[in-house]
Amino acid sequence: MNRKLVCRFLPLVVAVILVGCREPVPPVPPPPASHVFFMYDNIGSPYFGDDVAEAAQAVASGALRDGQRVVAYHRNYSDAETGEVRNTIYELVRDDSAEGGVARRVLMRYAVGENSSLNGENLNRVVGDARELVPADHYGFAFGSHGLGWVPKSNTYTPTRRGGNGQSYEHPFAELWEPRENPRTRFFMSESFVKLDVSEFVAALDDWSWDFMILDDCFMSSIEALYDMRRLADYIVASPTEIMIPGFPYGRVVSTLFQSWESGLEASLAGVADAFVEDYRTGRSGTLYRSLPCATVAVVKMSELDALARSVRDIVQSGSLVSIADPVAAGIQVYEGYSRPAHIFYDLDDYIARATTNAALYTAFGAQLRRTVTFADHTDNFYSDYPSFSGSIVTVKHFSGLNAFIPWSGTTLFTADYQQTNWYKDIYL
């Protein structure tokens, strides 16, 4: 090659290398995997760091067998090897010579700030990178974030806004964006928190098959949200209420999951869900939460959701589902502590049981619900970080594991958005 050309273009080549978005590591390819549990961080430090530390303890204790892997995408990870803080994909590897008996083997370091925002493109990219770096026959996914069920981000953005008459209109979630001292949940933490609609979540992840997903986010055992996700995974583990900020106990999750993932996933996920509730019931979650033994969970078999939708539609189309204008007065179980303008999340089974006048159709619905929710458990109460900064304790009197919006429940703030959901269109129209 002409020497002048080399001198001219070599700096450009070096520059391209230096600013490259990806920095795959390691020099030695990892061993083949059969089952990979991928933990995705959108909850931030120190909470995700604690989650990974718990998972690491399980790995160090020998929870994994050949072919079983735990991989994490950790935002703003402080890399002990490089001294840098970057979004990083790493694997937890048992190593008796490492501190705590486990090493974090870095698979990819992203450029500073890359993939930090939660949007569909970034989520798709990170998951695609992880699955390319650690190919396997089976994948499970834990998504640690905040959640509001089916409610779209367009209805949660602005704490205050001006109405057409010039008067100030306060959004009902505004209080959640104010500093406070009460225990926190995986609901909104700040006004600037970046949000992702369920449809965007589905579009980002439906390129791949998933054995299961753990949605470590508030309110995500929402029939409307799950219905949109019914093709994503074989099973989803989620809560119909708020989840306390520490989230799932990932040490017990990893230990329980890998014992029987290969031979009996449904039973394995029941064990995972049971561990979640039991840890909160016994006060595992730390000093701040010992007085709040609050947890609810369901394991949902996604292939049964179409049949569940048909059973509810049969009731609606028969004309036997009566309008209950005030579900609270009717005694229907609520799943949050909102005081205004009205509740959003109710127990699906309690709603149908109290609203239908057709006993035979309700019996059919109940049978299908039991096929859909393969495991459900709860503490006596759950905690809601709303209202008025002080939070509230709500007693669980009826529990199916699935929450649902009631179209005529007294609030108009969410009605227009709700009528755009696929669940509403397939059930009520």
Q: pLDDT for 118-177, tens place per residue? A: 788 999 999 999 999 999 999 999 998 888 899 887 766 444 433 344 444 455 555 555
Lowest mean pLDDT among 178-192, 239-253, 257-271, 366-380: 178-192
- Specify the DSSP element, H or E, that contains 86: strand 85-94
In this structure, are residues 343 and 351 in contact, taking their beta carbons and an 8 Å threshold?
no
Cα separation, 267 vs 375, in Å, equals: 9
pTM above 0.85, yes or no: yes
Q: How far apart are CA 196 and CA 126, in angstroms?
A: 15
Digit-coded pLDDT (tens) for 398-410: 999 999 999 886 6
Could you report the per-residue pLDDT of 326-384, keeping only the tens digit for each? 898 899 999 988 766 678 899 999 999 999 999 999 999 999 999 999 999 999 999 88
**What are the structural domains, with CATH classification, of the chain?**
19-152+184-302 (3.40.50.11970), 304-428 (no CATH)
Within 10 angstroms of residue 322's Cβ, the number of other Cβ atoms is 10
Q: CA 91, CA 71: separation in Å to the nearest integer?
A: 4
d(CA 308, CA 318): 16
Query: What element of type H or E holds 334?
Result: none
